[in-house]
Structure 1
């Protein structure tokens, strides 16, 4: 099997088909394109999500906190607590562990989420540090985002730009290989993209306005997220290639390594589906907060299409992320 997330067809066949037991307290069950599970806790719902960090070594404590909080924010919920499991190889030093936790602590303070527990272990089962975080969020049950109101013509938006996380990882992990090919300014721009990895703020703002769907753009990049969104909502989508924002540093790094920026992991960018009216409000409110947001397409009856130079091309299901061709 390829490195990276298991392809969605295999997820359906090997994973989801074997989840037989269902509880009536579960409002949102596991499925493709769903970042979180939602559990009924009376007046409130409990929103939970889990994610690993496997493709980076730089600043992984901060990444671990942010990526899971992003998933909870995609449900419009406020992250409350984080459980953090660290599996580290035998050559890990005390200083390494301390740095991971310092970074995680700073990220959790910034997001006002508490690290409430977890597990830390040195093991020969891994050859580099692997961190898994599980985030617990809280949300009024009446404000749980459902896909029932999605209609043909609803707008598709993304925040920030494509390939944020992947660009930052490559620029930090492979800086020496970039020095003779990219300007110092662009290398620093690329590395700094890691500071914009959180989508919690836009998630909270969009939830307060009213959206029909949100999805944190992670492995598989923008195109992978669009495909997963179509699967989740049970409708088609059409986006325009020229409308998808991509930083110059992302474009140039992807050109150097011959990878597709639209298939590059992009934590830090949120995919949003909202009505015409609410889309305009989202544009207005996010821009007030200096958060870049762009309408890139709309919901259709069927098919998953990206339009480029007037030609429509079917978007294929996500496979192994472009990052793994480089790192």
Structure 2
């Protein structure tokens, strides 16, 4: 069987996970579809560990590598503290370019208070492009309790910030001239910096939101966009959902570019946004909390029992939410 680009099909991934050895009792969350990080219990704390590669883009790969992994730790209610990364480089790669990647890693780690504690770098024969794979470690004090918590039917789903911030940034950088022709130089310059402002990091937002009393779970949608992210979160929580498609906050001003590449913004890589499950009865207070903290939030759905399915309402249609490939591959 030949697989498409991107994540493996969930059914096959489940087969692979079943091949792994059983977990010991200190592993509170292990490998699971839709999970962002592992959680390991110690006497006074939980150790949160995530791993993610950067494969879609080479531009600012050091920056992306740190942020994407930091996001995965933060959505578990922990501050990212320690980073390791493996850097695989194609033959003929210049010394100055390697230094540039390390400087990118240094810059974002310094900004977020993260220490680089190890890794591996090599020139890999047969490799066509750079691959950076990172591991982030964070700590959550035990007194704060285990996170995520149980989500029930009737609880609400919020989207933090807009989508797809990361996808727009990648398209603007990789297809600069085409984007310029479609939307003009002024808008292009704005979107070229989209990975910085509004930014693909949700570390600050996730840590703040994890302290809100009604927060039950969080997930950062990445590959496959917000649609895949919603499916992953529901799979992780073993829940169904109804999503109001017209409520999803999509970045304005990039519509014609998506049309040109025949891309769905809801299925385009979406680091920079955050999915949050909020307990029923706390939704109004959560909106006020976000407003006070200057965090953009939008109620986009309501959780259902698993047997009620997972659907997105699009105008007069109800469409099943299924795992999907990322539309970002259409530009390469």
Give me the TM-score of the superposition, normalised by structure 2. 0.94
1:312 to 305, 314, 318: 318
Query: Is structure 2 residue 115 aligned with structure 1 residue 114?
Result: yes
Distance 1:239 1:90 in 2: 46
1:79-108 deviation line (CA, Å, top 9, x unaligned): 010001111111211111111111111111
Distance 2:278 2:112 in 1: 25
2:204 to 177, 181, 201: 201
What are the residue-to-residue correspondences of 1:232-247 with 2, within 5 Å? 232-247=236-251
Which runs of at least 4 in structure 1 moved beyond 4 Å after TM superposition?
none
Pair 177,298 (structure 1): closer, same or farther in 2 beyond 3 Å: same
Distance 1:252 1:61 in 2: 30
| 2:221 paired residue number | 217
> Contact 1:190–1:249 (CA<8 Å) still a contact in 2?
no
What are the residue-to-residue correspondences of 1:153-232 with 2, within 5 Å? 153-195=154-196, 196-210=199-213, 211-232=215-236
- Give the C-alpha shift of residue 208 in structure 1: 0.7
1:12 to 11, 14, 28: 14
- Give the C-alpha shift of residue 37 in structure 1: 0.4
- Give the C-alpha shift of residue 177 in structure 1: 2.1
> Contact 1:162–1:246 (CA<8 Å) still a contact in 2?
yes
| 1:299 paired residue number | 303
Query: Is structure 2 residue 290 aligned with structure 1 residue 279?
Result: no
Which deviates more, 217-226 or 122-131? 122-131
| 1:73 paired residue number | 74
Distance 2:284 2:140 in 1: 24
| Runs of at least 5 residues in structure 1 that lack an aligned partner in the other structure | none
Pair 184,276 (structure 1): closer, same or farther in 2 beyond 3 Å: farther
Note the aligned Cα RMSD (angstroms): 1.4
- Give the C-alpha shift of residue 185 in structure 1: 2.3
- Give the C-alpha shift of residue 295 in structure 1: 0.8
Which deviates more, 48-57 or 101-110? 101-110
- Give the C-alpha shift of residue 277 in structure 1: 4.0
Query: Is structure 2 residue 260 aligned with structure 1 residue 259?
Result: no
1:60-89 deviation line (CA, Å, top 9, x unaligned): 111000000000011011101000111111
